[in-house]
């Protein structure tokens, strides 16, 4: 299983939309007769690659797979059927497939008389695809809320100006984080006031070929001249004020697993009150305003004992000298 996990984590494998999976086929004497990993959407699954490498040696072998073999036909056929037809004797998996569409592979294998086992190195397998696993287990995308603020927690000055609170290195770092997600989400007010393009760009400010979905949340009608509606990337407007409804729509209708949320203070407060912020990334600039727009709106917290405490998971200085910002990554407590 350690080798299968290593294969699944092969550098260069896309992190979305499919999970990373590795497979090793063992002959009855323990000899490796085939191995493979999933290279990305539309390519053969790990099991198929391993079966192809093994050929006839797959008959009577044990398949060791990081994720339960799929039991449905998508861009490729069901791996559970391929393993049955290849004549494997046993299948050992680390993680059950949480995707309700693709799950059930172990039951199909067992019904065909193949010995099955699951749970081996489960924590390691889950760590391979944490966002994908989260989305399918919760029926909504994982949400990373990002904002930039001054040392006294302001995202804009009293006159409304906000360019730029964050430094150029911090903004480049933000684009790298956006690129890890499949959706960038803001509210209609952000689009109306700031007119962001919400694309992912490189260090030379050039757009990358693989762009996340741009999602705009809210009931307000927006002009077609807004940059978020240009042809640089796909855009969807979610006409709701309910964070959970918006996220479930992104999951169910658009197959999205990781939202990079850059909404303003009112929408950020709504997401936190709904308990759907799973990670917070803030860029703190070494400047003071004393007044201006706060990073977040009311949370209905009236006493310090009810404060929402976050766990700091990483602190990094981004940039140097006058351009230095502090990036802090945090997680709200589970169930918050």
Residues 6 or more apart in contact with residue 159 via CB below 8 angstroms: none
151: left (phi over 0), alpha (psi -120 to 50) or beta: alpha
Note whether 79 and 47 are within 8 A (CB): yes
List the Cα angle 125/126/131 in 5-degree steps. Answer: 135
CA–chain centroid gap for 166, Å, is 24
Examine the residue annotation and report whether 47 is marked as an active-site residue of this protein: yes
List the Cα angle 267/197/178 in 5-degree steps. Answer: 70
Three-state SS annotation for 89-133: CEEEEEECCCCCCCCCHHHHHHHCCCEEEECCCHHHHHHHCHHHH
39 prior amide bond cis, ω within 30: no
List the structure tokens of 261: 């949320």
Residue of 122, 112, 67 lying closest to 89 (CA atoms): 112
CA–chain centroid gap for 83, Å, is 30
Query: Which residue has 């749970």 as its token pair?
Result: 119
Residues 6 or more apart in contact with residue 330 via CB below 8 angstroms: 279, 280, 281, 282, 310, 311, 312, 313
Write out the DSSP string of 146-193: EEEEETTSEEE-TTS--TTSS-HHHHHHHHHHHTT-SEEEEEHHHHHH
Catalytic residue among 47, 49, 68, 262: 47
Show which residues are catalytic. Answer: 47
């Amino acid at each position: 299983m350690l080798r299968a996990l290593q294969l699944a984590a092969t550098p260069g494998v896309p992190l979305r939309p499919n999970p990373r999976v590795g497979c090793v086929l063992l002959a009855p004497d323990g000899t490796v007769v085939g191995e493979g990993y999933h290279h990305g959407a539309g390519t053969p699954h790990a099991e198929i690659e391993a079966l192809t490498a093994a050929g006839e040696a797959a008959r009577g072998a044990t398949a060791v797979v990081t994720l339960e073999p799929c039991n449905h036909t998508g861009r490729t056929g069901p791996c559970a059927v391929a393993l049955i037809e290849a004549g494997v004797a046993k299948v050992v998996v680390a993680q059950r497939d949480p995707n309700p569409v693709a799950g059930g592979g172990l039951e199909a294998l067992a019904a065909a008389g193949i010995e099955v086992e699951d749970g081996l190195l489960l924590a390691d397998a889950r760590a391979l695809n944490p966002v994908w696993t989260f989305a399918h287990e919760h029926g909504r995308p994982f949400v990373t809320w990002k904002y930039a603020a001054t040392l006294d927690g302001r995202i804009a000055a009293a006159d409304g100006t906000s360019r730029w609170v964050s430094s150029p290195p911090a903004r480049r770092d933000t684009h790298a984080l956006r690129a890890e997600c499949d959706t960038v989400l803001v509210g209609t007010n952000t689009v109306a006031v700031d007119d962001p393009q919400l694309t992912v760009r490189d260090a030379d400010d050039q757009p990358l070929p693989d762009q996340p979905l741009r999602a705009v949340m809210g009931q307000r009608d927006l002009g077609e001249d807004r940059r978020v509606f240009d042809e640089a990337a796909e855009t969807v407007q979610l006409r709701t004020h309910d964070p959970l409804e918006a996220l479930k729509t992104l999951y169910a209708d658009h197959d999205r697993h990781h939202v990079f949320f850059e909404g303003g203070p009112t929408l950020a407060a709504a997401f936190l009150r709904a308990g759907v912020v799973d990670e917070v990334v803030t860029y703190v600039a070494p400047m003071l305003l004393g007044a201006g727009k706060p990073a977040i709106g009311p949370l209905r917290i009236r006493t310090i004992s009810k404060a929402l405490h976050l766990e700091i998971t990483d602190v990094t200085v981004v940039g140097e000298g006058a351009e230095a910002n502090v990036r802090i990554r945090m997680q709200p407590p589970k169930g918050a």
